[in-house]
Amino acid sequence: MDISNNDNTLHEFINDFAESKLSKPELQAFSELMEQNPEVRKMSYAGMIIHNKFRTSDKIRAKKGFEQRMAARFAEEMKREAVEENIELNSVNAD
Amino acid sequence: MATSNSVQLRQLSDEDVMEQLQAGVVQAFDEIVRRYKDRLHNFLFRYTQNHQDCEDLVQETFLRVYRSRHSYERIAKLSTWMYTIALNLAKTMYKKKQRMTTISIHADPADSESREFEIEDSTISQEEALHQKMSVSELEKALLKLNEDFREVIVLRDIQQLSYEEIAEITDTAMGTVKSRINRARQQLQEMIGDFVYSETN
């Protein structure tokens, strides 16, 4: 059996299996389906392994001093915004 | 009513902080940066694989959030709106980079000290930790080889741990499609790093 992209219920079950979110009775029923269908079994176990690997992978965080560097760029942005507002105001006054 | 005290801002929901920014409270911007800086780095690094480019992209995302502050409407979660902005920037940058050069799939080795490796089980052995690190590195390389639609759902679901509803909204895709893409993407990744997976399951 090919797994169709449109088989939403099956994809939901595979996702829930991969993320260990199936209840006991659901898991029992799904295990029977996996026994009968190697494609479903393959996709489900692949999903579980990949999901778990990413879950425990490196967490990338902002480098030290990021907030200060961001604040400096934000200050420039505020300055630019103020200049633009002045230009707009002057052109309105000139009219 | 505008709330300018940063202690008060910390107690507000994301959406309330955004409302403060819309009302002209500049400190609200700092609060948004404080809340999202790590999340956005973790997300955008998967597109840049380089800390400097990643930081530039995170800064640009925050500036876009500020510039578009008045177009934000409370019907959407702030996080969803921000990820949408970040994803669009990441896609543009990624396409530009792809046009210019062949992307190196290796992470920047000079940055290795700043990458924290998080292993939840403290009893894990050194060999297991090394194996884990190696297979994760294979996985990161494989992630860059996925097509764009698959990569974005994997990053949003497995790395950022967002709900299907949020992913559907960010990627402007039906929820059923999001779920099937996640399954297909995980299967493709498993096929790409087959050796590592095989050794772990046997």
ipTM (interface pTM): 0.84
A46 and A18 in a common domain? yes
Tell me: pLDDT of B122 over 60: no
Asked whether residue A3 is assigned to any structural domain, the reply reads no
State the average pLDDT for chain A.
Answer: 91
Higher-pLDDT residue of B1 and B102 is: B1
A22 shares a domain with A49: yes
Whether chain A has a CB inside 8 Å of the CB on B55: the answer is: yes
CB within 8 Å of chain B, chain A residues 8-67: 8, 11-12, 14-15, 18, 42-43, 45-47, 49-51, 53-63, 66-67
Taking CB atoms and an 8 Å cutoff, what residues of chain B touch A73? 59, 63
Partner residue facing A49 (CB), from B38, B176, B190: B190
On chain A, the residues whose CB falls within 8 A of the CB of B115 are 58, 60
Helix (H, G, I), strand (E, B) or coil at B201: helix
Does B144 contact chain A (CB < 8 Å)? no
Answer yes or no: is pLDDT of B162 > 90.
yes
- Which DSSP letter does residue B107 get? -
Cβ contact, residue pair B197, A73, below 8 Å: no
Q: Give the residue among B46, B67, B68 at the shortest CA–CA distance from B57.
A: B46
Provide the 8-state DSSP code for B174. -
A73 reaches B (C-beta below 8 A):
yes
**Phi, psi dihedral angles at B136 (to 5 degrees):** -65, -40
Query: Is A77 close to B42, i.e. CB distance below 8 A?
Result: no
pLDDT at B101: 56
Where do you find CATH 1.10.10.10 in chain B?
123-202
The rounded distance, in Å, linking the Cα atoms of A16 and A50 is: 13
Note whether A66 and A81 are same-domain residues.
Answer: yes
Enclosing domain of residue A16: 8-55
Contacts by B112-118, CB closer than 8 A, 24 or more apart: B114/A61, B114/A63, B114/B51, B115/A58, B115/A60, B116/A58, B116/A59, B116/A61, B117/A58, B118/A56, B118/A57, B118/A58, B118/A59
Collapsing DSSP states into helix, strand and coil, what is residue B116?
strand
Q: What is the DSSP string of chain A?
A: ----TT-HHHHHHHHHHHTT---HHHHHHHHHHHHH-HHHHHHHHHHHHHHHHHHTSPBP-PPTTHHHHHHHHHHHHHHHHHHHHHHHHHHHHH-
Residue B12, amino acid: L
Number of domains forming the structure of chain A? 2
Residue type, B160: Q
Rg value, chain A, Cα: 27
Residue range(s) of every CATH 1.10.1740.10 domain in chain B = 10-102
Task: Give the pLDDT band of residue B115 (cuts 50, 70, 90).
Answer: very low
Split at pLDDT 50, 70, 90, the class of B93 is confident
Mutate to test the interface with A, among B50, B113, B143, B180 (most CBs of A within 10 A): B180
Partner-chain contact B59 A70, CB within 8 Å? yes
Nearest CA to B33 out of A49, A89, A66 is that of A66
Distance CA(B108)–CA(B117), nearest Å, equals: 15
**Cα distance from N-terminal residue to C-terminal residue, chain A:** 73
Domain co-membership, A42 together with A73: no
Q: Which CATH architecture has domain B10-102?
A: Orthogonal Bundle (1.10)
Query: Which has the higher per-residue pLDDT, A55 or B154?
Result: B154
The closest CB to that of B55, out of A6, A49, A66, belongs to A66
> pLDDT digit string (tens) for A44-75?
999 999 999 998 887 899 999 999 999 999 99
Predicted pLDDT of residue A91: 81
- CA dist A36 and A30 (Å) reads 10
pLDDT in tens, B40-80: 999 999 998 889 999 999 999 999 999 999 999 998 899 99
Give the contacts of B84 (CB within 8 A, at least 6 positions apart): B169, B170
The last residue of one of the domains, among A39, A55, A71, is A55
Confidence of residue A85 (pLDDT cuts 50, 70, 90): confident
A28 within domain boundaries: yes
Output phi, psi for A22, to 5 deg: -85, 145
Any A CB within 8 A of B176 CB: yes
Check A15 against B42: CB less than 8 A apart.
no
Q: Are B75 and B169 in contact (CB under 8 A)?
A: no
Residues A27 and A66 in one domain: no
Instruction: Answer yes or no: do A50 and B190 touch at CB < 8 A.
Output: yes
Does residue A12 sit in the same domain as residue A51? yes
Just give the CATH number of B123-202.
1.10.10.10
Report the residue of A30, A39, A50, A69 to disrupt the B interface, i.e. the one with the largest count of B CBs within 10 Å. Answer: A50
For residues A70 and A48, state if they share a domain: no
Query: Is residue B89 scored above 60 in pLDDT?
Result: yes
What is d(CA B138, CA B136) in angstroms, rounded to the nearest whole number? 5
